[in-house]
């Protein structure tokens, strides 16, 4: 009896030691959920982060990437992050309003960014940091800004002049600035999760949308939209975010390796973004399923004039100081 008890105790101790060792070696799992296809700027960035994070931590961290809204759709994913069901996301900057961080909608203002160099000055500058500080109060840590690109506009009719938008139901992301943009054009904006847009277009729930070429192409929007206008009227980019409690709780040496992986993945994602969008446009053109429209100088001027009031209308929401700081940094610090 005694021997049995001793044996059982010894076995129990061995088991505990074993599970302790196994636990010590169990990798830290980071679930990185996103809503776009793997072969997009964000999809590639996430995959690159996985590769580098696993390499730099010698397998102590395992990154599981879930693309195409496999785990969560737009609205749910931020809640999932806050609850700890996933550890990393990269929502578009247009999706932070519902979280109470409406200053992020400054990126949605029409024609606010002349080019990507201006964008980089903002995201790498004081405002980029200030926006991330704002997220801390929501239990979220901002890790990086990733690019997608400038937006085009699609519909089943040619959109050349603002009047062409009248009465069209246009899908938007959950941003009040984008809502104001389409109202200024005389359209009817409808918030819809990214994963539902293709079907929405196919069934006529919406008539069109704005997005980047890479997002449109990988979701096959061009197969259900006869025209795409190369308007470049706004920008889509991302904030890579993590659960603050999770991030702060990581061993310091692991966090340092993950920071390094994120810095390199960011360079990579931003490098591939322009190429991905250019190729997507090319592919959509080659498909023969949609017609690309280039605006004349007069048409462009008409779009700008129609969209100009949006910035003034949205100043109260986004913050006058935020808009001014954005414009100053975009210009390179001189007003
Ligand atoms: C959208 O239109 O919802 C996109 O911004 C999705 C994305 O994450 O690029």
Residue 270 CA to residue 275 CA, distance in Å, equals 10
Q: Give tens-digit pLDDT for 154-202.
A: 999 999 999 999 999 999 999 999 999 999 999 999 999 999 999 999 9
168 Cα to the center of ligand 1, angstroms: 20
Residue whose Cα lies nearest atom 3 of ligand 1: it is 194
Q: Is residue 20 part of a domain?
A: no
208-211 and 152-155 beta bridge pairing: antiparallel
84: domain range? 25-330
* pLDDT recorded at residue 25: 73
Q: Is residue 10 part of a domain?
A: no
Residue 110 CA to residue 232 CA, distance in Å, equals 9
With a 6 Å cutoff on the Cβ, whether 174 touches ligand 1 is: no
Q: Is residue 15 part of a domain?
A: no
Residue 293 CA to residue 250 CA, distance in Å, equals 50
Atom of ligand 1 nearest to the CA of 173: 3
Q: Is residue 154 part of a domain?
A: yes
Q: Encoding tokens for residue 121? A: 């000055």
Q: Is residue 13 part of a domain?
A: no
Mutate to test the pocket of ligand 1, among 92, 201, 210 (most ligand atoms within 8 A of CB): 92
Q: Is residue 190 part of a domain?
A: yes
Q: Is residue 319 part of a domain?
A: yes
77 Cα to the center of ligand 1, angstroms: 13
With a 6 Å cutoff on the Cβ, whether 194 touches ligand 1 is: yes
With a 6 Å cutoff on the Cβ, whether 214 touches ligand 1 is: no
Q: Give tens-digit pLDDT for 60-81.
A: 999 999 999 999 999 899 999 9
42 Cα to the center of ligand 1, angstroms: 10
DSSP 236-281: EEEEEEEEHHHHHTS-HHHHHHHHHHHHHHHHHHHHHHHHHHHHHH
- pLDDT, mean over the chain: 93
Sheet with 88-89: strands ordered across: 61-66, 28-33, 88-89, 235-243, 140-150
**Is the Cβ–Cβ distance between 92 and 171 less than 8 Å?**
no
CATH of the domain at 208: 3.40.190.170
Q: Is residue 11 part of a domain?
A: no
Q: Report the number of distinct structural domains present in the chain.
A: 1
With a 6 Å cutoff on the Cβ, whether 273 touches ligand 1 is: no
* pLDDT recorded at residue 258: 98
């Amino acid at each position: 009896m005694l021997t049995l008890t001793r044996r059982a105790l010894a076995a129990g101790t061995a088991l505990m030691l074993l599970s302790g060792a196994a636990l010590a070696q169990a990798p830290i799992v980071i679930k990185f959920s996103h809503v776009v296809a793997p072969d997009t700027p964000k999809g590639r960035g996430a995959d690159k982060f996985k590769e580098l994070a696993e390499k730099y931590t010698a397998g102590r961290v395992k990154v599981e990437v879930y693309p195409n809204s496999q785990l969560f759709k737009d609205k749910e994913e931020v809640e999932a992050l806050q609850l700890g069901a996933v550890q990393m996301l990269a929502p578009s900057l247009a999706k932070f309003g519902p979280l109470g961080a409406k200053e992020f909608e400054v990126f949605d203002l029409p024609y606010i960014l002349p080019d990507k160099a201006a964008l980089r000055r903002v995201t790498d500058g004081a405002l980029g940091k200030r926006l991330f500080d704002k997220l801390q109060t929501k239990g979220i840590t901002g890790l990086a800004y990733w690019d997608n690109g400038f937006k085009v506009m699609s519909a089943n009719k040619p959109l050349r002049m603002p009047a062409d938008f009248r009465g069209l139901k246009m899908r938007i992301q959950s941003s009040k600035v984008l809502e104001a943009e389409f109202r200024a054009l005389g359209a009817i904006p409808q918030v819809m999760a990214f994963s539902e847009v293709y079907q929405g277009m196919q069934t006529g729930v919406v008539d069109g949308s704005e997005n980047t070429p890479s997002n449109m192409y990988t979701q096959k929007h061009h197969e259900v939209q006869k025209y795409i206008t190369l308007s470049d009227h706004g920008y889509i980019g991302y904030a890579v975010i993590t659960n603050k409690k999770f991030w702060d709780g990581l061993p310091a040496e692991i966090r340092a390796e993950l920071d390094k992986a994120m810095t390199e993945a960011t360079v990579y994602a931003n490098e591939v973004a322009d190429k991905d969008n250019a190729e997507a446009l090319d592919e959509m053109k080659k498909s023969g399923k949609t017609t690309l429209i280039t605006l004349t100088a007069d048409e462009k001027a008409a779009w700008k004039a129609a969209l100009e009031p949006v910035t003034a209308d949205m100043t109260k929401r986004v913050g006058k100081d935020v808009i001014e700081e954005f414009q100053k940094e975009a210009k390179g610090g001189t007003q």
